[in-house]
Structure 1
Amino acid sequence: MAEATKRYAVVTGANKGIGFETVKQLASNGIVVVLTARDEKRGLEALQKLQHSGLSDRVVFHQLDVSDPASITSFADFTKTQFGKLDILVNNAGIPGAIVDGDALAASGHGKEGAIVDMSKIFVQTYELAEECIKTNYYGAKRMIEAFVPLLQLSNSPRIVNISSSNGTLKNVPNEWARGVLGDAERLTDERVDDVLGEYLKDFKEGRLESKGWPTAYVVSKAAVSAYTRIVAKKYPSFRVNCVCPGYVKTEMNHNNGLLTVEEGAESPVRLALLPNDGPSGLFFVRNEVSTFSMAESTKRYAVVTGANKGIGFEIVRQLASNGIVVVLTARDEKRGLEALQKLQRSGLSDQVVFHQLDVSDPASITSFADFIKTQFGKLDILVNNAGIGGVKLDADVGAGAGIDRSKLIQNYELAEECLQTNYYGARRMAEALISVLQLSSSPRIVNISSAMGKLENIQNKWAEGILGDAENLTEEKVDEVLKEFLKDFKEGSLASKVWPTFLSAYTVSKAAMNAYTRILAKKYPSFCINCVCPGFVKTDINRNTGILPVEEGASSPVRLALLPNGSPSGLFFIRKEVSSF
């Protein structure tokens, strides 16, 4: 059937502002949209505007008052009769719940970074306005969802987008009991949200808002909407249900004192409405960035890059920081690390990069560093395990600037042991130490810098190849066994007879182990995105700058993996940007 491919959307409170622009953008994407408004005259005028812009076949109007249960029921019946299903519901209708002094709002600097705003000078609340606000902003959205779930279940790509606000994050709810209830994702229920709203209105009526630590009705209503988003997402796992703060947009609600245009404001709800079926659900976005439901610094993303004072590591730091991420540049040598930091600061990245000394071969150094991350940032979004050494040294008589002559490379047991401790166990301990803070991220990423030399085709020892290549049965203990056997054979001088790699032996084995560990981690943490990558043959100190690629190109593939969207592949080995076999 031709009609089966059509997609249908409903946008509430859509006769103006963000709602109107959301309708326009969805219709421009080929979706049939029902523009709804409480005021029929204004709704029809909005419809005519869209028709004049060439969207006649894509937009219809229906009167709707989300604060009136009978109006919602009637509208749900219309949608069922007219379309037979619904694909997208955007709950946009909302009111401030107070009389807003536009001049005071403009003078306050509200919406600007660092502004301290006394809301009592801007909003005048009454009990009646507060009750109406909660009825519209929260119960209106909730009743719309309840009424339209049966029709959304008939869609093969059901989406619910609840327009929220950064004002509704839990940091803005001083009442500890309410904050605890709304922040307890595991035990959230409709009834518990009702309890919070009932208590708020009771305290409002009794004149105890200030003494009980309550914010405005608007803040409480949006905190409730955010909580309900998580409830619905959990209840309907096949739906994509998210809430979003579209930014501080110029609308009538704020007397056009916002910073963004309505076109910019509508972009993020529309993006969530058009998410693919494997897109995220149950999250809170501030514009296009995943945020948390509680933290002030929630929109910021934090990364750690090991071995970052030079080469690929340094360039990864620079590229991540240039993407707006706060990056911790680490190095074993404090002096060199601080010099690298200064270089980045001179290039205008002062606010995005910090330095911390770290020796990945020292468990105590890793523990201390993990404590710093937890205390300083509270979470981690990206870990790039880049620190690595060659496990060899050059003959003393080889001059600086000379290329690599295999016959001049010296391998010994101590260098091999140090190589495994740094390249494999350093990366593994970093992952283990930082897993707990990565789990607090909404988009955790681990990128292990590996090498094509670590491919199993370079491990001729059949026993070792069999263990490291058995993805189903791989464990940390099995990798340990391989490395222990390698070092034992190295010490006994039997590398060649046991068919271990003889050129860059420890380096090759360490990278094969890292690749195996990447698969173990990816399986263990399916919500993470964990991959390993060979950045190519890059000009670095480790190869005495005999590589082919500049560091900028070498860093681009690890950075791409660090910035992958949620739902991207995990547990893979890449050679530059191409997936490779192990």
Structure 2
Amino acid sequence: MADSKSKRYAVVTGSNKGIGYAICKLLASKGIVVVLTARDEKRGLEAVEKLKLESGLSKHVFFHQLDVSNPASVSSLADFVKHQFGKLDILVNNAAVLGCIVDADALRASGIGKEQLKWSEISTTTYELTEECIDINYYGAKRMVDALIGLLQLSDSPRIVNVSSGAGKLASFPDGWAKNVLSDAECLTEEKVDEVLKVFLRDFMQGSLETKGWPASHSAYVVSKAALNAYTRILAAKYPKFRANCVCPGFVKTDILHQTGFSTPEEGAEGPVNNAAILGCIVDADALRAAGIGKEQLKWSEISTTTYELTEECININYCGAKRMVDAFIGLLQLSDSPRIVNVSSGAGKLALFPDGWAKNVFSDAKCLTEDKVDEVLKEFLKDFRQGTLGTNGWPASHSAYIVSKAALNAYTRILAAKYPKFCANCVCPGFVKTDILHRTGFLTPEEGAEGPVSLSLLPDDGPSGRFFEGTKESSFVSYEDDYYLPNGEKFILPNFN
């Protein structure tokens, strides 16, 4: 068995070509050991050899045959992962079929994306194709989760990514029973999703899709992806220590639609591999809820644990991710008459949480801040974390990755404001919002939390830049100037990060 403590392991289904292959390549490039899978063993082995040649990462890529429609095949893969690695950190459910036969020439001639495509005119289907689509796209993902859930629970940072589609959005459904069931996130269960699929297949066989409130064409794919989206929400609620999400990779040039997409597989892989923001630690949800957060001082070190991998990922996403976005879009922003950059930060990034010392001094010196200096601070932080010297070298003692990443983001915002004086670049703490990142223990709704970022997006041209806001109110980068209050009027007591 490999040294599983220091490595991260991923399984990607349907990955001998297209988006799945690109996901494997991108994960391997980040140092993650990847199991590439395919129904056809010969094609899978060829893909692994190609990936090893392209990436030079032969130690990071394994192959195992997998047919997600075959329980024995899924079980065989799970046994391989168990004996080879002892755990699993990332499961990407990518395997999918379209559920119909598409006329490739008609699809290419249709000017797809330029005018509304009439799917019924360029595709045909059968009950067998429809049933196969449901079985692979939805039940295949379920089989994978059921088989690998025990190994995922052994991970310090388990991730499930279900590759879905914009076609699975409920706007594609006529109003009716199925749409209502899949829309009710709080009451979703696997049994209810199974019932929806059972009724869909029955109505398809009886030729009554349109009269019973189903999408009229392309229906198997639409329904299978809507079911997958619902299942993802069920998983997120059932396993609060996991990060379970679904993602539409975009309209990608793959064989499933005869290479008619607009994005490359590499571009399509970015969404499944990336995340928008993470906490950098694992929080005990029950302990957090029981702590009376905001009513008495919360000792963060008592309810959370972290690893170097989580810490590094937190810096990479929360800070470096924002930088990558700015670097990629700065040219387009400069073409705007009213460019705005809003970095969603946190009150946890205020410098009052830093012990006095070098890092705090660097971040405090607004006039001398540079990206190189911020990068140096983060480099030192990661080094000290690995060496176990955070407390002695002037860093926050707990919840440190999130605090440092947000302080770095605040500093970067000030750099942007100075570098681009015609922009309005600001950072904002949206408040303590009910989101999955802290197990929905906040006090504000997501809509209330959105008010600050939206307000900064719509600033007048002579509005402030390089500032820190709490909601819609300007605040300090350093100190907590105002008291916070709970909805019942009681004073909010800030957590203890020592």
TM-score by shorter chain over 0.5: yes
Greater Cα radius of gyration, structure 1 or 2: 1
Contact kept? 2:3, 2:85, Cα under 8 Å: no
2:443 pairs with 1:524: yes
> What is the SS of the residue equivalent to 2:117?
coil
Contact kept? 1:34, 1:62, Cα under 8 Å: yes
In the aligned structure 2, how far is the partner of 1:520 from the partner of 1:161?
24
Q: 1:557 aligns with which of 467, 472, 491?
A: 467
CA displacement, residues 96-125 of structure 1 (integer Å, 9 cap, x when unaligned): 01001122222333345xx32211012211
* Aligned pairs (5 A) from 1:176-575: 176-215=176-215, 216-272=219-275, 277=280, 524-525=443-444, 529=449, 551=462, 554-557=464-467, 574-575=475-476
CA gap 1:224/1:271 in 2 versus in 1, 3 angstroms: same
In the aligned structure 1, how far is the partner of 2:57 from the partner of 2:77?
22
TM-score by length of 1: 0.52
2:9 pairs with 1:90: no
Matched AA of 2:48: L
Q: Residue 120 of structure 2 aligns with which residue?
A: 120
In the aligned structure 2, how far is the partner of 1:571 from the partner of 1:523?
18
RMSD over aligned Cα atoms: 3.9
Contact kept? 2:433, 2:445, Cα under 8 Å: no
Contact kept? 2:28, 2:61, Cα under 8 Å: yes
In the aligned structure 2, how far is the partner of 1:261 from the partner of 1:152?
30
Q: Number of aligned residue pairs: give it.
A: 333
Q: Residue 135 of structure 2 aligns with which residue?
A: 135
CA gap 1:175/1:129 in 2 versus in 1, 3 angstroms: farther
Matched AA of 1:555: S
Q: Residue 348 of structure 2 aligns with which residue?
A: none
Contact kept? 1:188, 1:227, Cα under 8 Å: yes
In the aligned structure 2, how far is the partner of 1:206 from the partner of 1:190?
24
Q: Residue 79 of structure 1 aligns with which residue?
A: 81
CA displacement, residues 263-296 of structure 1 (integer Å, 9 cap, x when unaligned): 110001000499555699xxxxxxxxxxxxxxxx
> What is the SS of the residue equivalent to 1:6?
coil
Contact kept? 1:12, 1:19, Cα under 8 Å: yes
CA gap 1:194/1:523 in 2 versus in 1, 3 angstroms: closer
In the aligned structure 2, how far is the partner of 1:235 from the partner of 1:96?
29
In the aligned structure 2, how far is the partner of 1:136 from the partner of 1:520?
36
Contact kept? 2:94, 2:163, Cα under 8 Å: yes
Matched AA of 1:557: R
CA displacement, residues 390-429 of structure 1 (integer Å, 9 cap, x when unaligned): xxxxxxxxxxxxxxxxxxxxxxxxxxxxxxxxxxxxxxxx
What's the CA shift for 1:213? Answer: 3.2
Matched AA of 1:58: H
Contact kept? 1:36, 1:43, Cα under 8 Å: yes
In the aligned structure 2, how far is the partner of 1:571 from the partner of 1:237?
31
CA displacement, residues 170-196 of structure 1 (integer Å, 9 cap, x when unaligned): 011125111001111011000100111
What's the CA shift for 1:519? Answer: 9.0
CA displacement, residues 372-404 of structure 1 (integer Å, 9 cap, x when unaligned): xxxxxxxxxx9xxxxxxxxxxxxxxxxxxxxxx
In the aligned structure 2, how far is the partner of 1:530 from the partner of 1:220?
31
Greater length-normalized contact order (CA 8 Å, ≥ 6 residues apart) = 2
CA gap 1:222/1:520 in 2 versus in 1, 3 angstroms: closer
Q: Residue 365 of structure 1 aligns with which residue?
A: none
Contact kept? 1:573, 1:579, Cα under 8 Å: no
Q: Could you list the runs of 5+ residues in structure 2 that have no partner in the other structure?
A: 284-325, 345-430, 435-440, 454-459, 483-498
CA gap 1:532/1:225 in 2 versus in 1, 3 angstroms: closer
Q: Residue 103 of structure 2 aligns with which residue?
A: 101
2:20 pairs with 1:19: yes
In the aligned structure 2, how far is the partner of 1:80 from the partner of 1:525?
42
What's the CA shift for 1:525? Answer: 1.6
What's the CA shift for 1:580? Answer: 4.7
In the aligned structure 1, how far is the partner of 2:137 from the partner of 2:89?
22
Q: Provide runs of 4+ in structure 1 moved above 3 Å.
A: 109-112, 272-280, 346-350, 518-524, 526-533, 570-574, 577-582
In the aligned structure 1, how far is the partner of 2:239 from the partner of 2:225?
21
CA gap 1:52/1:520 in 2 versus in 1, 3 angstroms: closer
CA gap 1:139/1:256 in 2 versus in 1, 3 angstroms: same
In the aligned structure 2, how far is the partner of 1:87 from the partner of 1:195?
31
Paired-residue identity, % = 54
> What is the SS of the residue equivalent to 1:4?
coil
TM-score by length of 2: 0.60
Contact kept? 1:573, 1:580, Cα under 8 Å: no
Q: Could you list the runs of 5+ residues in structure 1 that have no partner in the other structure?
A: 281-318, 324-345, 353-381, 383-517, 534-540, 542-549, 563-569
